[in-house]
Copies of this chain bind each other. A is one copy, B any other.
């Protein structure tokens, strides 16, 4: 497999993976492109490489910046803006986990808490609703807390010690 094919395969795969962690294809592809680029890219570069429109590129870059994954880079002597992405995978994972937690998990936890806190009127169905949503609330909260803590660890050595524990 040559460079070109490998690159396209990576961008394509990352793009379709994007949809599953809640961001759209173009957004994931732009990030992928920047991730393997040796230097910051401008809008023209991205449009041309991914064959997408100016508007699409602009909007998705904006979103990536909102997530905190992509930053503007000023290149002296150049008028236009350049973009680059976080290059450290550990840090990238940390940012993504944090944002997803904030945007998606936390609101769900809030609803689960509210729903599981309704007054027990004694009926079987109310008891079941309370019991099940409470269980889900605990699980979701624990999982969320754990992921956040795990991601906050700067080094990978921790992962190793968690692994050992899980033998």
Which residues of A are at the interface with B, using a C-beta cutoff of 8 A?
A: 1-3, 6-7, 9-10, 13, 17, 20, 22, 35-38, 87, 89-90, 93, 104, 108, 111-112, 114-115, 118, 121, 123-126, 128-129, 132-133, 135-136, 138-139, 142-143, 145-146, 149-150, 153, 156, 158-159, 161-163, 165-166
Contacts and interface: CB of A to CB of B under 8 A. Distances in A.
Contacts of A132: 35-36, 87, 89
Contact of A38 (B13, B128, B162): B128
Nearest to A130: B6
A6 B156 CA distance: 42
A41 to B, nearest CB: 12
Contact of A9 (B10, B13, B114, B156): B114
Given A115-B9, A135-B89, A17 B165 contact: no
Contacts of A123: 3
A46 B87 CA distance: 48
A143 B93 CA distance: 10
A43 B129 CA distance: 21
How many copies of this chain does the complex contain? Answer: 2
A128 B37 contact: yes
Contacts of A89: 132, 135-136, 138-139
A33 to B, nearest CB: 11
